[in-house]
């Protein structure tokens, strides 16, 4: 069990895979991204791309890139999203269900902000607030998918069933994600990364 993070060799192999994979992914999906952005821009009247500040490797902030799926509601400022969140547009629900809204993150992976596999990038106030040995999570780039992402692939549905979604997220889901992400780093394996990617693609 590695208590210090990934080795130099693991980091190098992981980064090479990310560069090659994201480059090929962008070549294959750029037209889907462009069409989705244009349609969203026409439907919402705003830039179809959505960027948000997230916490990256070593606590460094970066802008995650996604396709806009939500509208702004001034009185609704929570960062917790449920299935019935009124901010999600009709088109946004389709994009989120098909994961098309996530495709622009390939740009983040190519630029080195993210990796294909790793802890999901959190907004400031969560990952940057980790304490003690849990901070090992910040030694790796956040990912598009990973063990916590797969376990909570239906997170919005789970939260929708709770009387207090924010409290349930803070007391149940988030601590479990921290545990899973810490185990991911401490027990890192490139082969396991490949399995996470295949499970994500196959929806398992």
The tens digit of pLDDT for each residue in 8-49 reads 999 999 999 999 999 999 999 999 999 999 999 998 888 999
Looking at residue 8, its pLDDT comes to 94
Predicted structure pTM score = 0.91
Cross-strand bridge partners of residue 5:
none
Q: What is the pLDDT of residue 84?
A: 74
Phi-psi region of 50 (alpha: psi -120 to 50; beta: other; left: phi over 0): beta
Can you tell me the mean pLDDT for 50-76?
A: 91
Q: What is the pLDDT of residues 174-192, one digit of tens each?
A: 999 999 999 999 999 999 9
Residue 164 near residue 174 (C-beta atoms within 8 A): no
Residue 1 clears pLDDT 70, i.e. is over it: no
Summary mean pLDDT of the chain: 92
Higher pLDDT, residue 155 or 80: 155
9: helix, strand or coil? helix
Assess whether pLDDT exceeds 80 at residue 73: no
Q: Provide the 3-class DSSP secondary structure of residue 7.
A: coil
């Amino acid at each position: 069990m590695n208590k210090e993070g990934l080795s130099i060799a693991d980091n190098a192999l992981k980064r090479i895979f990310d560069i090659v994979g994201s480059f090929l992914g962008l070549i294959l999906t750029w037209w889907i991204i462009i069409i989705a952005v244009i349609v969203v821009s026409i439907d919402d009247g705003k830039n179809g791309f959505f960027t948000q500040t997230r916490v990256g490797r070593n606590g460094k902030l970066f802008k995650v890139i996604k396709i806009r799926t939500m509208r702004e509601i001034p009185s609704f400022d929570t960062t917790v999203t449920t299935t019935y969140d009124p901010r999600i547009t009709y088109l946004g629900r389709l994009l989120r269900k098909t994961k098309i809204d996530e495709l622009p993150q390939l740009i983040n992976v190519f630029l080195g902000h993210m990796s294909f596999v790793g802890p999901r990038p959190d907004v400031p106030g969560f990952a940057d607030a980790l304490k003690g040995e849990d901070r090992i999570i910040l030694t790796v780039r956040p990912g598009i998918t990973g063990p916590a992402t797969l376990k909570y692939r239906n997170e919005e549905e789970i939260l929708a069933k709770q009387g207090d979604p924010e409290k349930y997220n803070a007391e149940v889901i988030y601590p479990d994600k921290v545990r899973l992400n810490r185990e991911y780093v401490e027990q890192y394996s490139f082969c396991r990364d490949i399995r996470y990617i295949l499970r994500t693609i196959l929806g398992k």
